[in-house]
């Protein structure tokens, strides 16, 4: 059977072709030639538009659609659904569209749906498909109610809806992001506030230096440190306007170039310098510089500097250094050293002075308990170790003295004061203390001991000396009592008494002089004296002793008068003392030579004898008080060791010197006395001119 294709089915692409080829006889629509006019019109419209259109027609609502609709219904319905009843084709979504179709078919008018979700299965999966569509009635007089079908003009808006949804999502996310950002910003502001507070608390400041633009950007805190106020926070790098360099203390300015050099090589480096602020105060700053950008050659382009005010620490350090220096000076002035011994590790620390005390250096000597003990005099080692151990055990401070044998052979006395520290169980943890050189004290103690002994010897000798003249005196007095006054023996008694009392008087005078000299209470009756007169007076005093020993006396005086300023009696006492000594310490029949001359504004008097001489080691001692030489004092003529001591003090009171020389025991002695010459042209009068020298003058 050939059917003529009606005009309204012409065109229409694939769907047109399908509709033309379709066997309509088996559908509820029947042959297209019999389709009512209104349906034909709408079908023609549908097939000839690019817009997706769909038609449900007749009581079964047979499905018709165009090419534009194919994609939307998927292979599940295309092309099989053509002409088939809507209820079967769209069973899946009938609950949604069924009522809407019913609404139109029952004459209640068209419907309009925007972005309606109508999920359908296509391409094998259930898609959330969105549509914007209208269901419009298609009139047909022959149909009940005058409505033959429904025209669906429809656009799938899944993409737009999805985009819109995406957009909403994005917007929500954006909103979320903004909220988060705001929170982050708030947090950052809070953190920045904390950062600023921290900078302030730490008296820290930072700035950035742009070495290319030659500018500097200051933080408020850094400006406060440098005493700068710049509203724009900008500064200049280099040149006369460089506010940074200008603020640096002149003595530290050279460091600026140094830091720039460091920045060439290091990414971060330490910096320390002083700044002088506009108010005149000086701050010590300490911190770091960090290179934040480098050029192609590695040259620094930008740096960040962070500096803190460390003035207080520096002052404390300086104070500490001064204290340390003081302690060091005190230790070295007191010839003292400090030590500390950690008992657990058995490590010994010594202050630098301690090395010097022990005569070693840190380079050549490592102080340990053993090495230090090794320097002690072997005799002192056991006692020291024992006493130290005992003191530590008894929790007592420890004082001791020992002798050292230094590596260079010298010997010193060391005083040692130590103490231990204990743990809660009472075990010693460390000991510490000071050591000091007490050699001088030890020497002084020895001198004192010697002096004490000498004094004892002296008193013993003196008692003898004072007793000796007493016996002949008493004897003479006894004799006198039994003699008539005109007896010739009376003269002998007078002689004995006279001689012996004179000796006692001399002895006592010497003793009194010594005590006066010691107390600085000697008065000189100073006058211009002729050397010859003075020496003659001394010889006169010494002559009996010289003659008594049968010595020859040679005297060589200057031809012209040589004059000195002095006390005649005292100076005659000095010279007679020396002459009597020569007589005493020269075996009988010796020679004593006195020679006087002027030289270098001084009167020089030399007294030389051929006597027993003085051993070299005794030369210095003979001028000391009671400074007798043992072998000499045992000599019959020995005295009390007062004469030379007295002589030296008297000569020194006159501004002169006295020295002894001897080539040794048995080789004679020579005493040389020098006195300043009286100034010429002054008072020539030889008359006595009393003057007072010594402490009495001030009194």
Residues between 508 and 567 with contacts to ligand ADP, criterion CB under 6 A: none
| Out of 42, 531, 622, 651, the residue judged to bind ligand ADP by CB under 6 A | 622
If binding is defined by CB under 6 A, does position 472 make contact with ligand ADP?
no
- End-to-end CA separation in angstroms for the chain: 174
What is the closest distance, in whole angstroms, from the C-beta atom of residue 664 to ligand ADP in the complex?
A: 11
If binding is defined by CB under 6 A, does position 694 make contact with ligand ADP?
no
Q: What are phi and psi of 402, to 5 degrees?
A: -150, 165
If binding is defined by CB under 6 A, does position 428 make contact with ligand ADP?
no
Q: Edge-to-edge, what's the strand order for the sheet holding 347-350? A: 347-350, 336-342, 428-437, 411-422, 398-405
Alpha-carbon span 312 to 292, nearest angstrom: 30
Q: What are phi and psi of 676, to 5 degrees?
A: -65, 140
Residue nearest ligand ADP, CB atom distance = 639
What is the closest distance, in whole angstroms, from the C-beta atom of residue 440 to ligand ADP in the complex?
A: 27
| Out of 527, 573, 581, 610, the residue judged to bind ligand ADP by CB under 6 A | 581
If binding is defined by CB under 6 A, does position 629 make contact with ligand ADP?
yes
Tokens, residue 194: 């904390």
| Residue placing its CB nearer to ligand ADP in the complex, 297 or 630 | 630
If binding is defined by CB under 6 A, does position 82 make contact with ligand ADP?
no
Whether the CB-CB separation of 81 and 22 falls below 8 Å is answered with no
If binding is defined by CB under 6 A, does position 438 make contact with ligand ADP?
no
Beta bridge partners of 555: 594
| Residue placing its CB nearer to ligand ADP in the complex, 339 or 585 | 585
Q: Which region, judged by CB under 6 A, interacts with ligand ADP, from 30-38, 91-99, 129-137, 631-639?
A: 631-639
Strands 398-405 and 268-276: what pairing?
A: unpaired
| Out of 643, 649, 653, 673, the residue judged to bind ligand ADP by CB under 6 A | 643
**Residue 678 DSSP code:** P
What is the closest distance, in whole angstroms, from the C-beta atom of residue 339 to ligand ADP in the complex?
A: 47
If binding is defined by CB under 6 A, does position 83 make contact with ligand ADP?
no
**Residue 364 DSSP code:** T
| Residue placing its CB nearer to ligand ADP in the complex, 308 or 622 | 622
Alpha helices (runs of H) in 585-687, residue ranges in sequence order: 630-633, 643-653
| Out of 611, 654, 658, 675, the residue judged to bind ligand ADP by CB under 6 A | 611
| Out of 133, 645, 650, 654, the residue judged to bind ligand ADP by CB under 6 A | 645
| Out of 435, 585, 602, 610, the residue judged to bind ligand ADP by CB under 6 A | 585
**How many residues line the site for ligand ADP (CB under 6 A)?**
23
| Residue placing its CB nearer to ligand ADP in the complex, 54 or 585 | 585
- x/- track of binding to ligand ADP for residues 590-609 (CB under 6 A): -------------------x
Strands 204-210 and 563-566: what pairing?
A: unpaired
If binding is defined by CB under 6 A, does position 642 make contact with ligand ADP?
yes
Tokens, residue 217: 């950007």
| Residue placing its CB nearer to ligand ADP in the complex, 605 or 632 | 632
What is the closest distance, in whole angstroms, from the C-beta atom of residue 333 to ligand ADP in the complex?
A: 38
| Out of 473, 632, 673, 678, the residue judged to bind ligand ADP by CB under 6 A | 632
Alpha-carbon span 438 to 401, nearest angstrom: 8
If binding is defined by CB under 6 A, does position 628 make contact with ligand ADP?
yes
Q: Edge-to-edge, what's the strand order for the sheet holding 552-556? A: 552-556, 591-599, 602-609, 669-676, 657-662
Q: Which region, judged by CB under 6 A, interacts with ligand ADP, from 352-360, 438-446, 568-576, 578-586?
A: 578-586
Alpha-carbon span 45 to 61, nearest angstrom: 19
What is the closest distance, in whole angstroms, from the C-beta atom of residue 604 to ligand ADP in the complex?
A: 18
What is the closest distance, in whole angstroms, from the C-beta atom of residue 513 to ligand ADP in the complex?
A: 12
Closest CA to 605 of 648, 641, 555: 555
| Residue placing its CB nearer to ligand ADP in the complex, 216 or 649 | 649
| Out of 376, 517, 546, 614, the residue judged to bind ligand ADP by CB under 6 A | 614
| Out of 612, 653, 673, 678, the residue judged to bind ligand ADP by CB under 6 A | 612
If binding is defined by CB under 6 A, does position 627 make contact with ligand ADP?
yes
Closest CA to 72 of 153, 135, 12, 167: 153
| Residue placing its CB nearer to ligand ADP in the complex, 526 or 612 | 612
Q: Which region, judged by CB under 6 A, interacts with ligand ADP, from 172-180, 266-274, 359-367, 635-643?
A: 635-643
Alpha-carbon span 387 to 397, nearest angstrom: 11
| Residue placing its CB nearer to ligand ADP in the complex, 643 or 656 | 643
Beta bridge partners of 622: none
If binding is defined by CB under 6 A, does position 624 make contact with ligand ADP?
no
What is the closest distance, in whole angstroms, from the C-beta atom of residue 506 to ligand ADP in the complex?
A: 11
Alpha-carbon span 592 to 542, nearest angstrom: 11
Q: Which region, judged by CB under 6 A, interacts with ligand ADP, from 89-97, 166-174, 340-348, 581-589?
A: 581-589
If binding is defined by CB under 6 A, does position 641 make contact with ligand ADP?
yes
Alpha-carbon span 366 to 349, nearest angstrom: 9
Q: What is the largest CA-CA distance in the chain?
A: 220
CA distances from 222 to 199, 200, 300, 514 (A): 9, 10, 21, 79
| Residue placing its CB nearer to ligand ADP in the complex, 161 or 658 | 658
CA 513 remoteness from chain centre? 62
CA 470 remoteness from chain centre? 79
| Residue placing its CB nearer to ligand ADP in the complex, 77 or 618 | 618
What is the closest distance, in whole angstroms, from the C-beta atom of residue 565 to ligand ADP in the complex?
A: 25
| Out of 157, 354, 431, 640, the residue judged to bind ligand ADP by CB under 6 A | 640
For residue 599, give the 3-state DSSP assignment.
strand
What is the closest distance, in whole angstroms, from the C-beta atom of residue 449 to ligand ADP in the complex?
A: 21
Alpha-carbon span 460 to 638, nearest angstrom: 13
Tokens, residue 87: 């209820």
Closest CA to 47 of 79, 76, 19: 19
Strands 347-350 and 398-405: what pairing?
A: unpaired
For residue 286, give the 3-state DSSP assignment.
strand
If binding is defined by CB under 6 A, does position 669 make contact with ligand ADP?
yes
Only one residue has tokens 């002084």, namely 444
What is the closest distance, in whole angstroms, from the C-beta atom of residue 382 to ligand ADP in the complex?
A: 42
Q: Which region, judged by CB under 6 A, interacts with ligand ADP, from 24-32, 121-129, 622-630, 676-684?
A: 622-630
Alpha-carbon span 151 to 110, nearest angstrom: 9
**Residue 27 DSSP code:** S
Alpha helices (runs of H) in 519-635, residue ranges in sequence order: 531-548, 568-584, 630-633
Binding site for ligand ADP (CB under 6 A): 581-582, 585, 609, 611-614, 622, 627-629, 632-633, 638-645, 669
């Amino acid at each position: 059977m050939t059917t003529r294709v009606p005009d309204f089915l012409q065109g229409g692409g694939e769907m047109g072709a399908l509709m033309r080829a379709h066997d309509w006889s088996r559908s509820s629509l029947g042959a297209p030639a019999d389709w009512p006019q209104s349906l034909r019109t709408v079908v023609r419209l549908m097939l000839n538009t690019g817009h997706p259109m769909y038609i449900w027609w007749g009581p079964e609502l047979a499905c018709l659609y165009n090419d534009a609709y194919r994609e939307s219904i998927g292979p599940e319905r295309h092309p099989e659904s053509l002409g088939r009843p809507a209820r079967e084709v769209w069973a899946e979504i009938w609950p949604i569209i069924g009522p809407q179709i019913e609404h139109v078919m029952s004459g209640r008018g068209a419907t309009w749906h925007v972005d309606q979700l109508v999920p359908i299965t296509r391409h094998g999966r259930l898609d959330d498909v969105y549509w914007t569509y209208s269901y419009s009635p298609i009139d047909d007089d022959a149909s009940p109610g005058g409505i033959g079908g429904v025209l669906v003009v429809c656009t799938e808006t899944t993409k737009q809806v999805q985009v819109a949804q995406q957009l909403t999502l994005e917007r929500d996310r954006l909103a979320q992001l903004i909220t988060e950002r705001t929170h982050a910003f708030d947090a950052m502001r809070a953190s920045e506030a904390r950062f600023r507070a921290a900078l302030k608390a730490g008296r820290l400041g930072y700035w950035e230096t742009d070495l290319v633009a030659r500018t500097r950007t200051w933080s408020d805190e850094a400006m406060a440190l440098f005493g700068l106020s710049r509203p724009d926070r900008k500064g200049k790098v280099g040149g006369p306007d460089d506010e940074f360099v200008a603020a640096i203390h002149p003595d530290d300015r050279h460091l600026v170039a140094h830091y720039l050099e460091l920045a060439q090589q290091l990414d971060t480096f330490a910096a320390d310098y002083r700044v002088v602020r506009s108010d005149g105060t000086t701050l010590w700053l300490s911190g770091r510089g960090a290179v934040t950008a480098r050029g192609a050659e590695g040259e620094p382009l930008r740096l960040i500097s962070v500096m803190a005010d460390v003035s207080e620490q520096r002052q404390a350090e300086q104070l500490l250094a001064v204290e340390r220096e003081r302690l060091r000076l005190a230790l070295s002035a007191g010839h003292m050293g400090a030590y500390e011994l950690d008992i657990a590790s058995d490590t010994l620390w010594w202050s630098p002075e301690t090395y010097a005390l022990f005569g070693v250096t840190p380079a050549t000597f490592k102080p340990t308990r053993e090495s230090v003990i090794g320097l002690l005099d072997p005799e002192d080692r056991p006692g020291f170790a024992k006493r130290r151990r005992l003191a530590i055990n008894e929790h007592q401070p420890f004082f001791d003295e020992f002798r050292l044998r230094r590596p260079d052979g010298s010997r010193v006395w060391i005083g040692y004061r130590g103490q231990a520290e204990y743990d809660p169980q009472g075990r010693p943890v460390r000991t510490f203390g000071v050591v000091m050189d007490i050699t001088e004290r030890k020497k002084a103690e020895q001198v004192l001991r010697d002096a004490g002994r000498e004094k004892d010897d002296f008193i013993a000798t003196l008692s003898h000396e004072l007793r000796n003249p007493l016996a002949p005196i008493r004897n003479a007095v006894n004799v006198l009592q039994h003699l008539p006054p005109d007896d010739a023996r009376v003269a002998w008694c007078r002689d004995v008494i006279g001689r012996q009392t004179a000796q006692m008087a001399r002895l006592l005078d010497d003793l009194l002089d010594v005590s006066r000299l010691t107390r600085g209470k000697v008065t000189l009756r100073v006058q211009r004296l002729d050397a010859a007169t003075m020496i003659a007076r001394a010889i006169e005093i010494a002559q009996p002793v010289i003659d008594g020993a049968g010595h020859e006396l040679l005297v060589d005086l200057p031809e012209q008068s040589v004059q000195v300023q002095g006390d005649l009696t005292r100076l005659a006492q000095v010279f007679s003392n020396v002459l009597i000594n020569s007589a005493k310490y020269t075996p009988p029949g010796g020679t004593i030579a006195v020679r006087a001359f002027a030289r270098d504004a001084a009167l020089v008097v030399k007294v030389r004898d051929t006597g027993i001489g003085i051993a070299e080691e005794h030369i210095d001692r003979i001028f000391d008080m009671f400074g007798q030489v043992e072998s000499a004092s045992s000599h019959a003529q020995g005295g009390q060791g007062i004469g030379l001591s007295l002589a030296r003090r008297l000569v020194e009171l006159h501004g002169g010197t006295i020295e002894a020389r001897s080539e040794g025991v048995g080789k004679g002695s020579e005493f040389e006395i020098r006195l300043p010459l009286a100034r010429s042209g002054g008072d020539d009068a030889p008359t006595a001119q009393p003057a007072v020298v010594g402490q009495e003058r001030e009194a």
